[in-house]
Structures are given as C-alpha cells and as structure tokens.
Amino acid sequence: MEKNNYNLSEHLDHIAYMFNVRTTGKAYENFIVNAIYTKVGESELMPVTQQYVKNPRDQRCYYLLDLYFPQLKYGVEVDERHHMGEVQKARDIVRGEDIRTAIECEEFRISIFDKEGNKRSYEDIVADIDKVVDIIKDKIVENAPLKWLTYKERKEEVLRKGVFSISDEISYPSITEIYNMCGGRRSGKAKGSDAKSLQRCYYRLNDRYKLWVPILAEKDESGKVRNGKMGYENTLSDDLTLLIEKSNHPFDPLLDIDYKRIVFMRMRDYYGKPCIKFIGVFELTNDCDNKEYVHIYRRIADKVKIEELMP
C-alpha cells in the first residue's frame, strides 16, 4: 500500500484542533461535526470548523460556518434554539446566500429543535447526519482523487507552477516567507538590513516590483475609518480591486512611479492565526504629488510569475 505523502503530525494536529479547541462549549455542534467526519471515514478529506467567511455585502462583517470541507466546497450548519425564531430564520436565509456568494459553498442544515421548539430525538438527528454523510461521500467520488496537502506541499505546488495567483488555496505566515520565495538575499534568509526592512509593510524586490502587505485601517459602526497605522490610512474596496493609501504627510514624488506592487492581504488562517494571502498586482493610477496625500492603486493582474519578482 502506498504511503500517504502528507505530514502525519500536521494532519493529526489539525484534526485535534478543529474538533476540540474550536468547538469547545458547543455540545450539540461538537457531537454532530465529530459524528459526520468519523462516519465519512476519509483520511484525505480536510475538515474546517468555524470557517471564517467575509460577508460579501459588508466587508466589516463575517460569518462562521460550523463545518466546512474546502476540497468539496460543502458546509454544514448546526441550528440550536436561537435559530427557531422567524426573524432569525429570515437572517439565516440571507446568511446562506451570502456564504454561497463568498465561497461558492453548498450547505446542509441540521436542527436540534423542531418547529414547536422541542428537542428532536437522537434517532432523527442521526438520520440527518447520515444524509449529510451520504452527500459528502458522493462528492468525494465526484472530486476523486482527494489529496490533503500540507502547507509545505501547497507552497511547493505554487513554486512548481512558478506563479502567485488569487485562485491559489493557500495563505502564507509572513512577508518574510514571500520574500524568500522570491529569491531573497543572503542564501534565501532575511538578515541584517533585509530583516529590518521586512518589519515594514512593503519591500522593494527589484527594479520593477515592490512587495506590499498593507495594514488596513478599520471602520467603526458608522463606516468612519479609524486606527490608521504609522500615519497612513489604507482602505481596500469590497471587491479587492482598489487600494487607497492616505497619508498625513507628503509622499516622495518618485516613490512608486516606476513600480508595480505585489499585494498580499492580512487575514486569519484556519486556526485563527495571522497570515497573508495574495490579492493581485496593483499599479498607481494617480499623480503622486497631490495635496490630499492620497495614492490610488488599481489591480491590473490577478497573477504574476515568481521569476519576474526575483532580484
């Protein structure tokens, strides 16, 4: 029998984290998501509990999908008592539409309570679990062969293709990781002045491209931008195609006139840890020497060859 190529430790750590840490205090949900994954019995199927999904209609808001299988684009929601009210039911319909729009995901809902608010029987809930399991098994066949790739394998696949693309299902731990993938100096390790530069949000890769991981300003409930970092307010359009950089001091007129920016967005990975994900190649579209101290960058490409980023 051929050995699996994935890192066993990473595989087990992922399972333990998803079905214990992230479902702590959610007794019904914990039982259901564990039962589904155990009954499916496919070791190459990656499960994600409490999958973070940005609201496509309002980037300030997000949803947490109870159980999600990214390889199948399929999710499961566990509805407890607070889902029984008519107002919440209407919200759940909108929520489901938002999730399908954001990540093209189908979902199955399992309710703990019936329409009268009474707790359903164990047998009825298990019957729903079995329905989900059958659907998932069919999807596994449709998407065969499944392969649970570790972070290292996903990164190696990107390097093999030689392209950063917004369609890649991978996020990276830091700007230094990208720097090293692009050929970083000094044997591929950031040291000395390189390391100090990488503590900022951008770094010049060569005479054509800069690597940029902007720190985005946050919005309060009224939509007003706040918490700009280091004298900058960086905002990103909802469709991720427009970046506006506003400063409280003049820009260097020659700062970006000859450079394109390779942009990665700060986000959180499956474990809730900070990471960055490629969102495209951006180019300055307005005059640098403007009295408002505003730079406007527009996405001009959704992929870039890594060899073009080398020193």
DSSP single-letter state for residue 57: T
Distance from the Cα of residue 115 to its chain's centroid: 35
Task: Per-residue pLDDT tens, the chain, 311 aa: give them.
Answer: 233 333 446 788 888 888 887 777 778 899 999 999 999 999 999 998 888 777 766 655 677 888 999 899 999 999 876 555 555 566 666 676 777 777 788 889 999 998 888 899 999 999 999 999 999 999 999 999 998 888 888 899 999 999 999 888 788 988 889 989 998 754 444 444 454 455 556 788 899 999 998 887 765 555 555 555 556 788 888 778 898 888 766 655 555 567 899 999 888 776 667 889 999 999 988 765 556 678 889 999 999 999 999 98
Contact 33, 23 (CB under 8 A): yes
AA identity, residue 235: T
Q: Closest Cα partner for 62 from 105, 102, 29, 106?
A: 102
Partner residues linked to 225 by β-bridges: 219
Are 64 and 51 within 8 A, CB to CB? yes
- Could you tell me if 201 and 263 are in contact, meaning their C-beta atoms sit under 8 angstroms apart? no
Q: Is the dihedral of CA 189, 190, 191, 194 positive or negative?
A: positive
Return the domain boundaries, the chain.
8-142, 151-309
Give how far the C-alpha of residue 1 lies from the chain's centroid of Cα atoms, to the nearest Å.
34
Model pTM? 0.66
Strand-pairing partners, residue 212, are 202, 263
